[in-house]
C-alpha cells in the first residue's frame, strides 16, 4: 500500500511516502531556527511557516520517492493532538491534495504515529510492547496490544518531559532546544550535587508530573544567585537531567512489573537522551526484553510514522473527509 502522509502538528513541516513498512521518502523541514530566539515554539510563527513550507515539502517527498500523487492508495494527515493552527494547515493541505485526485484520506492521531514508527522497516516491532513517548509536547506511556491503537497507561499531568528540559535550559541560560543543551552541560557535572524532587514516586499509578521540578530549579538558582548559578551550571544541569530521567525510567520500571510486554520502544525527541537510553537498556536487559530504538529521524516528529499508522486506520472516502476536524488535546484513544 502506497501512502502519502503530512505532519504539521508542531514546528516541523513533514511529508513522507511509505510503501507498506518501507519508507520511500521522509522529508522534514525544521523551523527550529525560527523559534530559537523565543526559547520555545510560537504557535503563530509555526502556522505561518507551515503555510510557506507545506507545498515544497510535499513535492520533495513525492520526488524523493519517485512517485506521483496519482500512484497513492491513500493520503494521511495528523489530526491532533498539537497546535491547532499548525494542524489545520496540514489538514487543509491534505484535503486539497486528496479531493481533486479523489483519493481516500486518513486522519491520524499523532501519538499513534509515534507508536507506529516502530512498525516500519528495518526490524518492525510486533505488539505487545510498551512504548514511552517523551517529547516537547507529550509524555505518554502506551501499552501497545495491536497495530490499530494503544492503551494509555500513563501521561503527564502538567508539563511534558522535553518541555521541562527546555524550561530548565532557559533558566540555566543554556539555549534552545534545551534537552541536548542540558545533556551537553550535564556531561561535566555531578548528578548528585543537587537534590531535585522526583515527582509521583509515591503515586501508585503511571502518570508523570514535571512542573514542580522546574519550580525547584528556579528556587535553587535564586538561592545560589547568578554568579554561583553560572559556576555550578554543569552540576545543576546534571542533577536536573537525572530527576527527569529518574521519573521516566521509574515509571517504565513500574509498568514492566506487569509481565504482558515482550519489548520496550522509546519515541519522541527526549528518547535521544543517552542517560534515558542507558537506563532503559539496563531495564530491558534485566528482564530479557527487546529494546527498540528507531532511527533519530523516525524518533522525532516526521510524516513516515503517520504513513505507518495510516495503514491501520479506516480511511474516509471523498467527500466525507472534507468535514474532518483537527483536535488540540488528546482524545480518549487512537
Residues that bind Zn ion (CB under 5 A): 135, 301
Residues 299-318 that bind ligand KG4 (CB under 6 A): 300-301
Q: Which of ligand KG4, Zn ion, none does residue 81 bind (CB under 5 to 8 Å by kind)?
A: none
In the beta sheet, which residues pair with residue 316? Answer: 105
Query: Distance between CA atoms of 246 and 295, rounded to whole angstroms?
Result: 24
Query: Distance between CA atoms of 61 and 269, rounded to whole angstroms?
Result: 22
In the beta sheet, which residues pair with residue 27? Answer: 15
User: Which strands, in side-by-side order, build the sheet including 105-109?
Assistant: 22-30, 12-19, 2-7, 74-80, 105-109
Q: How far is the CB of 267 from ligand KG4 (least distance, A)?
A: 8
Task: State which of residues 85, 127, 136, 315 lies at the interface with ligand KG4 (CB under 6 A).
Answer: 136
Q: How far is the CB of 179 from ligand KG4 (least distance, A)?
A: 2
Bridging pattern class, strands 139-144 and 22-30: unpaired
154 interacts with ligand KG4 by CB under 6 A? no
Q: How far is the CB of 85 from ligand KG4 (least distance, A)?
A: 16
177 interacts with ligand KG4 by CB under 6 A? yes
Q: How far is the CB of 10 from ligand KG4 (least distance, A)?
A: 5
Residue 163 vs 235, nearer CB to ligand KG4: 163
Query: Distance between CA atoms of 16 and 76, rounded to whole angstroms?
Result: 10
Q: Which of Zn ion, ligand KG4, none does residue 212 bind (CB under 5 to 8 Å by kind)?
A: none
In the beta sheet, which residues pair with residue 7? Answer: 14
Strands (E), 101-214: 105-109, 129-134, 139-144, 151-155
10 interacts with ligand KG4 by CB under 6 A? yes
State the residues that interact with ligand KG4 by CB under 6 A: 10, 135-137, 162, 165-166, 177-180, 183, 268-270, 272-273, 300-301
Amino acid at each position: 500500500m502506497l501512502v502519502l502522509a503530512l505532519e504539521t502538528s508542531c514546528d516541523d513541516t513533514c511529508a513522507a511516502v511509505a510503501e507498506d513498512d518501507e519508507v520511500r521518502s521522509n522529508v522534514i523541514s525544521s523551523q527550529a531556527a525560527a523559534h530559537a530566539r523565543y526559547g520555545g515554539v510560537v504557535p503563530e510563527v509555526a502556522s505561518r511557516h507551515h503555510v510557506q513550507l507545506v507545498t515544497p515539502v510535499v513535492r520533495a517527498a513525492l520526488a524523493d520517492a519517485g512517485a506521483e500523487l496519482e500512484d497513492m492508495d491513500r493520503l494521511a494527515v495528523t489530526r491532533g493532538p498539537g497546535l491547532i493552527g499548525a494542524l489545520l494547515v496540514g489538514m487543509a493541505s491534505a484535503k486539497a491534495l486528496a479531493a481533486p485526485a479523489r483519493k481516500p484520506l486518513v486522519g491520524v492521531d499523532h501519538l499513534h504515529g509515534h507508536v507506529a514508527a516502530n512498525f516500519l522497516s528495518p526490524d518492525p516491532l510486533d505488539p505487545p510492547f510498551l512504548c514511552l513517548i517523551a517529547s516537547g509536547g507529550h509524555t505518554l506511556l502506551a501499552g501497545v496490544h495491536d497495530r490499530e491503537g494503544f492503551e494509555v497507561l500513563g501521561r503527564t499531568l502538567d508539563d511534558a518531559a522535553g518541555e521541562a528540559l527546555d524550561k530548565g535550559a532557559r533558566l540555566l541560560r543554556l539555549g534552545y532546544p534545551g534537552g541536548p543543551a542540558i545533556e551537553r552541560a550535564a556531561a561535566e557535572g555531578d548528578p548528585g550535587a543537587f537534590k531535585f524532587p522526583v515527582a509521583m514516586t509515591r503515586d501508585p499509578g503511571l502518570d508523570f508530573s514535571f512542573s514542580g521540578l522546574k519550580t525547584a530549579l528556579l528556587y535553587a538558582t535564586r538561592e545560589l544567585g547568578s554568579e554561583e548559578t553560572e559556576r555550578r551550571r554543569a552540576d545543576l544541569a546534571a542533577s536536573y537531567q537525572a530527576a527527569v530521567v529518574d521519573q521516566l525510567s521509574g515509571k517504565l520500571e513500574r509498568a514492566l512489573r506487569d509481565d504482558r510486554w515482550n519489548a520496550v520502544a522509546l519515541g519522541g525527541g527526549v528518547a535521544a537522551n543517552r542517560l534515558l537510553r542507558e537506563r532503559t537498556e539496563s531495564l530491558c536487559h534485566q528482564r530479557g526484553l527487546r529494546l527498540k530504538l528507531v532511527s533519530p529521524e523516525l524518533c522525532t516528529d516526521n510524516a513516515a510514522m503517520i504513513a505507518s499508522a495510516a495503514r491501520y486506520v479506516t480511511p474516509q472516502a471523498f467527500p466525507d473527509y472534507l468535514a474532518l476536524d483537527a483536535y488540540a488535546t488528546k482524545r480518549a484513544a487512537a
